[in-house]
């Protein structure tokens, strides 16, 4: 048991280093949200307008949205491409032959995902507060809970995609598609209020939409979004179930 934990931490540490050596994933998970932060902040500032952004300032709206965006980038691009690539190239096979358990392999991926998400959110928070002075989160505890549930949700979602997508190429294609659809329509792009009804409906069926609501409410001082948290939990359970059902070592 003890050396299982040691293996888990060693593998996690190596995976964190591998992440930092992979420019594409670093760009998608850490750099893009920061670029969006400056583009949106530069265009909309933080003056509230009752017609858009749920009636709050744009930056108050976007700060928690970008937390969701970072987790979503991990779940759609970083994790699936990584896992599908590992399987395609025989890395999973190599690990399995040396008695690495599925819990060690996926557990390390989950830990890495959280470390990256935390680093990304800290970066966005620091830069956002320094440049745009948004309001500080109202319910920190609830925000933390939403962060953990959102992180677990997108990690499961990433495991699911990584389990069913057969190759690096298909994972990249599907990952990019989901990333851009969710980013634009799921609540991290233009204000939902200005989108057409069809765009809103598509936005509402993306996991990101609900994760963002769940994160925004405690930040903005709104009531905990029970529906959003239940839907997020549901997506987590279904994704994890499908991932377990379809996971293959080779």
Residues that bind another protein (CB under 8 A): 3, 6-7, 10-11, 14, 17-18, 21-22, 86, 89-91, 93-94, 96-101
Of residues 17 and 133, the one with the C-beta less far from another protein:
17
Residues 6+ apart with CB under 8 A from 111: 8, 12
Instruction: Output the smallest distance, CB 43 to another protein, in A.
Output: 37
The residue count of the chain comes to 250
In whole angstroms, what is the distance from residue 4 CA to residue 59 CA? 43
Alpha helices in 133-225, H assignment, sequence order: 140-164, 168-185, 197-204, 207-220
Of residues 21 and 197, the one with the C-beta less far from another protein:
21
Of residues 125 and 167, the one with the C-beta less far from another protein:
167
Helix (H) or strand (E) holding 81, with range, is: helix 79-89
Of residues 101 and 227, the one with the C-beta less far from another protein:
101
Instruction: Output the smallest distance, CB 77 to another protein, in A.
Output: 17
Instruction: Output the smallest distance, CB 162 to another protein, in A.
Output: 15
In whole angstroms, what is the distance from residue 113 CA to residue 74 CA? 7
Instruction: Output the smallest distance, CB 3 to another protein, in A.
Output: 6
């Amino acid at each position: 048991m003890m050396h299982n934990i040691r293996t888990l931490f060693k593998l996690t540490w190596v995976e964190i280093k591998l992440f930092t050596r992979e420019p594409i994933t670093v760009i998608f998970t850490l750099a893009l949200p920061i670029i969006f932060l400056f583009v949106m902040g530069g265009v909309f500032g933080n003056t509230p307008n009752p017609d858009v952004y749920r009636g709050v300032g744009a930056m108050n709206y976007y700060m928690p949205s970008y937390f969701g965006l970072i987790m979503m980038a991990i779940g759609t691009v970083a994790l699936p491409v990584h896992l599908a690539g590992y399987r395609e190239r025989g890395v999973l096979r190599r690990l399995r032959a040396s008695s690495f358990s599925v819990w060690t392999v996926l557990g390390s991926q989950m830990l890495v995902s959280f470390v990256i998400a935390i680093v990304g959110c800290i970066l966005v928070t620091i830069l956002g507060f320094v440049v745009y002075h948004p309001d500080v989160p109202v319910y920190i505890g609830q925000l933390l809970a939403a962060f953990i549930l959102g992180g677990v949700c997108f990690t499961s979602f990433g495991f699911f995609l990584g389990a069913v997508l057969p190759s690096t190429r298909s994972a990249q294609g599907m990952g990019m598609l989901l990333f851009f659809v969710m980013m634009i329509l799921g609540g991290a792009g233009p204000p939902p209020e200005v989108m057409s009804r069809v765009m809103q409906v598509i936005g509402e069926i993306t996991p990101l939409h609900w994760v963002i609501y769940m994160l925004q409410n405690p930040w903005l001082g709104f009531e905990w979004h029970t529906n959003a948290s239940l839907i997020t939990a549901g997506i987590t359970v279904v994704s994890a179930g499908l991932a377990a059902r379809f996971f293959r070592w080779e």
